[in-house]
């Protein structure tokens, strides 16, 4: 067996392995996916909103928090990270109307959300501490559907399901599908105690646990991933309330999307490097979360390699056959064109694609809001499954390069 076939079979095995884990976890826990746990008591909560030049969205974000039906929400702390637009005056208008809203300003621009979040945490005296991005709009019932998980004293963090809102085009439609599949997958990982990120649009932490890990890592580009790994490393459980929804505005242009994903990937690499000694060590972080992360990268890059190799091989073969046919002045066909039997490798590839497509549809059914069977047109699902996902492997390779070059830029602008 040649090395390329061995590599392909390894790629296929790992892909099937993770896919079967998801299928088995889903089959065993499907009745609990949409579960909402009633809180055993009212826990006091403060929500921190880090804000930088967010005059277009901050008003809706604050209002969404004020509209929350959770009675334990005591403070909404908006941290102005030295904005240069009209954000401060908008926030101050809320502080005059609502005692619940507190405006604080960092001494100097921290340059990232983690710095503003940590600064805001100094003003928190409640049992729970939550964070919401300055362009996020949580549903009225979102917090109420999250806090019940803290009935378990071992739970240190609870995250929400993120859906997108705003401008619609092919890119945002693909992201809408992507976010729903991510949420569905994350919920399944929760049954394995392997949630690897608490998202920025709306996540809540036990304050004692947050203090134990010393808050967010301000040097990491994805502080929400790093703090989750830190929680798991310290023995805290992380849960997800999939019925708790927070809306966010995704990049609607390729350039902004590209910058955002570079930051996410580089931040993930920073986190893996920071916790590298945990790899295959005891606990879910080393035994599942890190291997899951690393094998996901392996699958993406290896998949791109196989696709590129097979396509280039096909083009070269066609070129050589056509060239020889012209020179010899005779029509030639290859042995491959005479057989109707597909290779076993092709069969595995198509089976893997079909199972992945089924998984996508199931995830969309669970994550739909209103309307059609999945909430998306079949056309959009195929664009996502075939073209959008193909953008990831080359992006990941570029992210490795940027990481090695010391890339450390936050934001999408």
Output the pLDDT for position 201: 97
User: What 3-state class would DSSP assign to 98?
Assistant: coil
Angle (CA) 376 379 383, round 5°: 100
The span from the CA of 116 to the CA of 106, in Å, is: 7
Task: Take residue 213 and report the two structure tokens written for it.
Answer: 């890990």
- Tell me the pLDDT band of 371, cut-offs 50, 70 and 90: very low
Closest by CA position to 175, among listed 246, 241, 248, 264:
248
For 281-292, the pLDDT digits (tens) are 877 888 888 887
For 174-195, the pLDDT digits (tens) are 999 999 999 999 999 999 999 9
Q: Is the dihedral of CA 64, 413, 386, 310 positive or negative?
A: negative
Domain boundaries of the chain, sorted by first residue: 1-28+159-196+241-413
User: Which one has a higher pLDDT value, 396 or 321?
Assistant: 396
Contact call for residues 113 and 223 (beta carbons, < 8 A): yes
Closest by CA position to 8, among listed 292, 314, 294, 343:
343
Rounded to an integer, the average pLDDT of 18-42 is: 91
Beta 128-131 vs 237-248: how paired, if at all?
Answer: unpaired
Cβ burial 259-275 (10 Å sphere, 16+ → b, else e): bbbbbbbbbbbbbbeeb
Closest by CA position to 159, among listed 107, 232, 255, 59:
232
Closest by CA position to 193, among listed 128, 246, 237:
237
Residue-averaged pLDDT of the chain: 87
Specify the pTM: 0.87
In 213-289, alpha helices (H): 223-233, 254-274, 284
Question: Using H for helix, E for strand and C for coil, what is the string for 19-85?
Answer: HHHHHHHHHHHHHHCCCCCCCCCCCCEEEEEEECCCCCCHHHHHHHHHCCCCCCEEEEEEEECCCCC
User: What 3-state class would DSSP assign to 142?
Assistant: coil
Strand partners, 80: 51, 105
Closest by CA position to 166, among listed 79, 82, 257:
257
- Tell me the pLDDT band of 333, cut-offs 50, 70 and 90: low
**What percent of the chain is predicted at pLDDT more than 90?**
60
How far apart, in Å, are the Cα atoms of 242 and each of 49, 53, 73, 141, 153? 21, 30, 20, 12, 20
């Amino acid at each position: 067996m040649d090395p390329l076939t061995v590599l392909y079979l390894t790629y296929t095995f790992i892909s099937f392995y993770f896919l079967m884990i998801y299928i088995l976890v889903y089959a065993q826990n499907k009745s609990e996916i949409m579960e909402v746990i009633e809180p055993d008591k009212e826990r006091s909560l403060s929500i921190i909103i880090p804000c930088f030049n967010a005059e277009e969205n901050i008003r809706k974000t604050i209002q969404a928090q004020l509209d929350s039906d959770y009675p334990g929400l005591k403070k909404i702390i908006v941290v102005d990270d030295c904005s240069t637009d009209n954000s401060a005056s908008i926030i101050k208008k809320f502080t005059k109307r609502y005692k619940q809203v507190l405006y604080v300003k960092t001494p100097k621009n921290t340059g990232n959300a983690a710095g503003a979040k940590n600064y805001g945490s100094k003003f928190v005296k409640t049992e729970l501490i939550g964070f919401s991005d300055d362009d996020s709009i949580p549903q009225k019932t979102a917090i109420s559907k999250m806090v019940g998980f803290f009935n378990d004293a071992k739970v240190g963090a609870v995250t929400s399901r993120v859906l997108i809102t705003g401008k619609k085009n092919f890119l945002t439609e693909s992201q809408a599908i992507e976010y729903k599949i991510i949420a569905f997958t994350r919920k399944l990982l929760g049954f394995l105690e392997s949630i690897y990120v608490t998202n920025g649009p709306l996540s809540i932490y036990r304050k004692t646990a947050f203090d134990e890990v010393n808050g967010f890592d301000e040097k990491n580009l994805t502080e929400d991933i790093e703090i989750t790994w830190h929680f798991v490393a310290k023995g805290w459980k992380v849960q997800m309330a999939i019925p708790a929804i927070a809306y966010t505005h995704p990049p609607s242009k390729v350039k902004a999307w590209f910058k955002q994903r570079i930051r996410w990937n580089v931040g993930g690499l920073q986190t893996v490097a920071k916790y590298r000694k945990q790899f295959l060590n005891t606990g879910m972080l080393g035994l599942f979360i890190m291997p899951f992360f690393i094998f996901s990268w392996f699958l993406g890059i290896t998949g791109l390699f196989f696709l590129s190799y097979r396509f280039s091989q096909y083009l070269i073969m066609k070129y050589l056959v056509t060239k020889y046919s012209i020179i010899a002045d005779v029509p030639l066909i290859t042995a491959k064109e005479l057989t109707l039997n597909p290779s076993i490798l092709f069969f595995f590839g198509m089976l893997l694609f079909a199972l992945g497509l089924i998984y996508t549809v199931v995830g969309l059914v669970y994550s739909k809001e209103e309307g059609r069977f999945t909430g998306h047109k079949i056309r959009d699902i195929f664009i996502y499954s075939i073209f959008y996902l193909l953008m990831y492997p080359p992006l990941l390779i570029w992210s490795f390069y940027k990481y090695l070059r010391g890339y450390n830029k936050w934001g999408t602008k």
